[in-house]
């Protein structure tokens, strides 16, 4: 029988934990009754340094029912680190682990199909949303652009898949080998390899509370995703510089010829245009290089990605 652990990162989620726990408990009870998962399966909430009563709530759930466990991080480390902390804490206890958001946007009923795929021999099962009706037009547009760009830049991440996925124990062992500090799990998991499949689900609205990914965070997550998965932007700088260089040479030749043939004055406007144009391109190029140097800086320091303060789990 499959011992299933679920990992649910929580940052200021006290408003949703009652409902989430209720629904997960019902799901676990039915899965246990039908013998699909073992009775020592667990739901592990990871408290990512919440400022509200999330940890107290998790402890309360744990006291009420032994299916609920908790990992308390020493401080807020962000969604990706919190998720990894949970996965690494439980990987040796479980046959497979499903990661899910706390806010019930991921469909709990997709768990059955994920388990079936796992039983059928898949090591990774991606939850893929089959529509974006619950998103604003803006988020839909930017998300589409982001996934398109990621693909062009050579990352294998699965379209419209957030972090709702099942991973087998050996896939998690593989993930543990990735020592990088800049985490973009949905891009890293395909690199682990093994056989994978997808399960489609309908993504709902956040049950309560507000999104922890405002626009600014979403943008920086996208930039992190691109620069930690692909070095292609650096290559693009090279090509942009190369093309500009060729253009500059042609332009220079034309100006010199014009000066001698038509006797035109040496122009200020063309000089200004060149200065502004090249200045802009150089700043952009430096910005992109800076983004990578920043990443290298963080990787070289190799600071811990999370620190687990406490793990409460009924044996």
Closest to ligand UDP by CB, 48 or 113: 48
DSSP state of 164: E
Minimum distance from CB of 274 to ligand UDP (Å)?
Answer: 43
Count CB neighbours of 250 within 10 A: 10
Question: Cα separation of 84 and 99, whole Å?
Answer: 10
DSSP state of 16: T
Minimum distance from CB of 30 to ligand UDP (Å)?
Answer: 23
| Partner that binds at residue 109, options Mg ion, ligand UDP, none, CB closer than 5 to 8 Å by kind | none
Query: Which strand (E) or helix (H) includes residue 118?
Result: helix 110-119
Minimum distance from CB of 193 to Mg ion (Å)?
Answer: 28
CA 296 to chain centre: 19
Minimum distance from CB of 96 to ligand UDP (Å)?
Answer: 20
Closest to ligand UDP by CB, 4 or 15: 15
Closest to Mg ion by CB, 27 or 139: 139
Minimum distance from CB of 272 to Mg ion (Å)?
Answer: 49
| Partner that binds at residue 123, options ligand UDP, Mg ion, none, CB closer than 5 to 8 Å by kind | none
Rg (the chain; Cα; Å)? 25
Count CB neighbours of 104 within 10 A: 18
Q: Which residues of this protein are in contact with ligand UDP, per CB under 6 A?
A: 9-11, 13, 48, 76, 78-79, 82, 101-103, 105, 206, 211-213
Annotate 241-299 with DSSP letters as a single string.
HHHHHHHHHHHHHHHHHHHHHT-PPPPHHHHHHHHHHHHHHHHHHHHHHHHHHHHHHHH
Question: Cα separation of 250 and 253, whole Å?
Answer: 5
**Residue 103 contacts Mg ion per CB under 5 A:** yes
| Partner that binds at residue 213, options Mg ion, ligand UDP, none, CB closer than 5 to 8 Å by kind | ligand UDP
Count CB neighbours of 84 within 10 A: 24
CA 224 to chain centre: 9
Closest to Mg ion by CB, 101 or 224: 101
Closest to ligand UDP by CB, 76 or 160: 76
Closest to ligand UDP by CB, 59 or 117: 59
Closest to ligand UDP by CB, 10 or 44: 10
| Partner that binds at residue 48, options Mg ion, ligand UDP, none, CB closer than 5 to 8 Å by kind | ligand UDP
Query: Binder to Mg ion among 47, 80, 105, 169 (CB under 5 A)?
Result: 105
Q: What spatial distance separates the first Cα and last Cα of the chain, rounded to whole Å?
A: 17
User: Which residues in the 201-260 window bind Mg ion by CB under 5 A?
Assistant: 206
Count CB neighbours of 158 within 10 A: 18
Q: How far is CA 259 from CA 161, 263, 266, in A?
A: 59, 5, 7
| Partner that binds at residue 76, options ligand UDP, Mg ion, none, CB closer than 5 to 8 Å by kind | ligand UDP
Instruction: Please work out, in degrees rounded to the nearest 5, the angle formed at the alpha carbon of residue 227 by the alpha carbons of 244 and 123.
Output: 140
Closest to ligand UDP by CB, 62 or 79: 79
DSSP state of 37: B
Minimum distance from CB of 175 to ligand UDP (Å)?
Answer: 18
Minimum distance from CB of 105 to Mg ion (Å)?
Answer: 4
Half-sphere exposure of residue 215: CA atoms within 13 angstroms, side-chain side: 5
Minimum distance from CB of 180 to ligand UDP (Å)?
Answer: 18
Question: Cα separation of 288 and 285, whole Å?
Answer: 5
Binding residues vs Mg ion (CB under 5 A): 101, 103, 105, 206
């Amino acid at each position: 029988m499959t011992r299933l652990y679920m990992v649910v990162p929580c940052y200021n989620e006290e408003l949703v934990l009652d409902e989430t726990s209720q629904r997960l408990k019902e799901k676990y009870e039915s899965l246990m009754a039908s013998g699909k998962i073992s009775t020592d399966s667990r739901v592990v909430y990871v408290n990512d340094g919440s400022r509200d009563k999330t940890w107290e709530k998790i402890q309360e759930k744990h006291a009420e029912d032994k299916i609920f466990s908790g990992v308390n991080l020493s401080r807020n480390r962000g969604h990706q680190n919190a998720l990894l902390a949970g996965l690494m804490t439980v990987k040796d206890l479980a046959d497979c682990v499903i990661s899910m958001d706390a806010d019930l946007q991921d469909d709990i009923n997709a768990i059955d199909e994920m388990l079936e795929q796992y039983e059928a021999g898949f090591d990774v099962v991606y939850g893929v949303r089959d529509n974006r009706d619950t998103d604003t037009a803006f988020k839909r547009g930017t998300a589409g652009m982001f996934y398109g760009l990621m693909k062009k830049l050579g990352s294998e991440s699965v379209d419209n898949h957030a972090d709702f996925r099942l991973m087998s124990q050996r896939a998690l062992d593989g993930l543990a080998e990735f020592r990088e500090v800049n985490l973009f799990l949905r891009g890293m998991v395909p690199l682990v390899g093994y056989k994978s499949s997808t399960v489609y689900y309908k993504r709902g609205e956040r049950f309560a509370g507000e999104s922890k990914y405002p626009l600014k965070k979403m943008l920086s997550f996208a930039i992190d995703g691109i620069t930690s998965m692909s070095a292609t932007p650096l290559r693009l700088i090279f090509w942009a510089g190369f093309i500009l260089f060729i253009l500059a040479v042609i332009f220079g030749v034309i100006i010199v010829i014009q000066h001698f043939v038509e006797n035109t004055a040496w122009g200020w406007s063309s000089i200004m245009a060149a200065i502004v144009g090249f200045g802009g391109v150089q700043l952009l190029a430096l910005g992109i290089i800076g983004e990578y140097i920043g990443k290298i800086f963080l990787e070289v320091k190799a600071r811990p990605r999370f620190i687990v303060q406490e793990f409460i789990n009924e044996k």
